[in-house]
């Protein structure tokens, strides 16, 4: 991560503000709750495994654990560019890696600034989006990454 930026004044931060980790995929800005992220590491190519869904890249070793890595790029149908970071998150009792183009910053978002998503946003159905806000003049899409990863629906990000 490059640093920390908050949308609200840190001294007047409301107790109920939402802390999100911002990251990019295909030039679009996304986020997920920081409470769900254990760690952010630099991307390293996973070892492929047989008989895996197309968006599962393979496995990596991290701190003595073997962890699966899921490509959010592939899940969203993004073919240009390359991954630069892996977000490690808890999925039940396991830790799973989610590869993204880049992890940028932690943002503090006031709930009042989070809007409900339209039926589709950049090709993603609202079923997979928790909300949308603005970060530096760009839309920040708060993904429901667990729902996105468990769906079998084909999704193609419009970039």
Find the CATH number of the domain harbouring 46. 2.40.50.180
Spell out the alpha helix ranges (H) of the chain: 72-75, 145-150
pLDDT tens by residue, 59-89: 999 999 999 999 999 999 998 889 999 999 9
* Residues of the chain falling short of pLDDT 70: 1-15, 159
Q: What pLDDT does residue 155 have?
A: 83
Q: What pLDDT does residue 8 have?
A: 39
CA distance 48 to 64: 18
Do residues 91 and 146 touch, judged by C-beta distance below 8 A? yes
Q: What pLDDT does residue 15 have?
A: 54
Q: What pLDDT does residue 113 have?
A: 93
Domain assignment of residue 83, yes or no: yes
Which letter, b or e, does each residue of 81-115 get, where b requires 16 or more Cβ atoms within 10 Å of its Cβ?
eebebbbbbeeeeebbbbbbbebbbbbbbbeebbe
Q: What pLDDT does residue 9 have?
A: 39
Domain assignment of residue 156, yes or no: no
Tokens 């001294």 belong to which residue?
Answer: 11
CA distance 56 to 68: 7
CA distance 130 to 144: 6
Domain assignment of residue 158, yes or no: no
Domain tally, the chain = 1
Domain assignment of residue 16, yes or no: yes
What spatial distance separates the first Cα and last Cα of the chain, rounded to whole Å?
Answer: 23
CA distance 32 to 18: 10
Do residues 125 and 119 touch, judged by C-beta distance below 8 A? yes
Structural domain span for residue 43: 3-150
């Amino acid at each position: 991560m490059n640093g920390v930026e908050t949308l609200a004044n840190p001294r007047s931060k409301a107790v109920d503000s939402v802390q999100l980790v911002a990251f990019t995929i295909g030039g679009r800005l996304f986020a997920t709750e920081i409470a769900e992220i254990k760690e952010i590491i630099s991307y390293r190519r996973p070892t492929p495994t047989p008989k895996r869904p197309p968006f599962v890249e393979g496995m990596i070793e991290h701190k003595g654990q073997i962890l699966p890595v899921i490509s959010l790029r592939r899940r969203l149908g993004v073919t240009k560019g390359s991954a630069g970071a892996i977000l490690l998150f808890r999925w039940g009792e396991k830790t799973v890696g989610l590869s993204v183009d880049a992890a940028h910053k932690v943002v503090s978002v006031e709930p009042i600034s989070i809007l409900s998503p339209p039926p589709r946003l950049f090709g993603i159905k609202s079923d997979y989006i928790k909300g949308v806000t603005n970060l530096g003049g760009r839309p920040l899409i708060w993904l429901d990454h667990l729902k996105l990863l468990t769906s079998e629906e084909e999704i193609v990000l419009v970039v």
